[in-house]
Amino acid sequence: MPTSPSSPPPTTAAPSAAEQTASARWGAVLFRNRSWLPVPFLLVALLVPAHATAANWVVGAVLIVIGEWIRLAGVAAAGTVTRRRSRDVQRLVTYGIFRWVRNPLYVGNFFIWMGFVVISGVLWFLPVAIVLFAAEYTLIVAYEEGVLESIFGAEYLAYKRETPRWIPRPPAQRERGEHDWAEAWRSEISTFLQYGALVVLFVIKERVWSR
């Protein structure tokens, strides 16, 4: 969830109508368990027989780099508070990459997940992965937006009107804010290690199926 140092810590807020919709309730369940969402994608990519070409590796790597850059920009602006599982949101970030798109971490995740699917060589799964990702994260964002509307009210609704949900758009007006790139890099170390482990697994898969 995006946050901003300019906003005072909110008091406990009653759930908004948006937070109480069926899609938001389903999204709340997925939100609390979102660390597990990549597992089905990775199981298909790792276990389905396929041959990855050099082009698969290059295209997949480009997608992953793009996705990780977007994630880093989001974490640098909002801080590690973006990774919490609770409804307790203290700030609303509306600057940096959050001025381009409301959900930069999820946009980054999309590129990263699709990158690994491309590397796997299981290209028939790519459209299925896109549909699954869209369904899961549409529900998650419905919950998050409901929470932000509950807590920040008109301030969030104004931001929501000006900033696209998924497809980045250059902002009409830039808003400056602090970015902690060092903390962002530190917070992503475990993610980088996971990337490394996945690369090793895909190399092993390629060797196994090439025999």
Per-residue pLDDT, 5: 46
Q: If 0-12 CB within 10 Å is exposed, 13-18 middle and 19+ buried, where does residue 100 land? A: middle
Greater confidence, 127 or 207?
127
Integer distance in angstroms from the first to the last C-alpha of the chain? Answer: 46
- 62 lies in some domain: yes
Per the domain annotation, does 67 fall within a domain? yes
Residue 1 falls inside a structural domain:
no
pLDDT at 206: 83
Domain with 145 in it: what CATH number?
A: 1.20.120.1630
How many beta carbons lie within 10 A of that of residue 84, not counting itself? 12
Domain that holds residue 105: 26-209
If one counts the domains in the chain, the total is: 1
**The two structure tokens encoding residue 98:** 């959050």
Least confident of 13-27, 85-99, 197-211: 85-99
Please indicate, yes or no, if residue 128 is contained in any of the structural domains: yes
- Torsion angle, CA of 189/190/191/193, rounded to 10 degrees? 90
Within a domain: residue 93?
Answer: yes
Q: Is residue 2 part of a domain?
A: no
The string of pLDDT tens digits covering residues 27-68 is: 999 998 888 888 888 899 999 998 889 999 999 999 999 999
Give the best-scoring range by mean pLDDT among 81-85, 129-133, 146-150, 173-177: 129-133
pLDDT of 9 higher than 50? no
Measure the CA angle with vertex 157, ends 87 and 75; round to 5°.
55
Residue 12 lies in a domain: no
pLDDT band (50, 70, 90) for residue 7: very low
Lookup: tokens for 206? 């390629």
Q: Find all residues with CB under 8 Å of 158, minimum gap 6, and list them.
A: none
Angle at 141 between CA 9 and CA 132, to 5 degrees: 155
Averaged pLDDT, 167-185: 86
Tell whether 165 is covered by a domain.
yes
79: left (phi over 0), alpha (psi -120 to 50) or beta: left
Q: Which of 74, 155, 158, 154 is nearest to 109 (CA)?
A: 74
Query: Which SS3 state, helix, strand or coil, does residue 28 take?
Result: helix
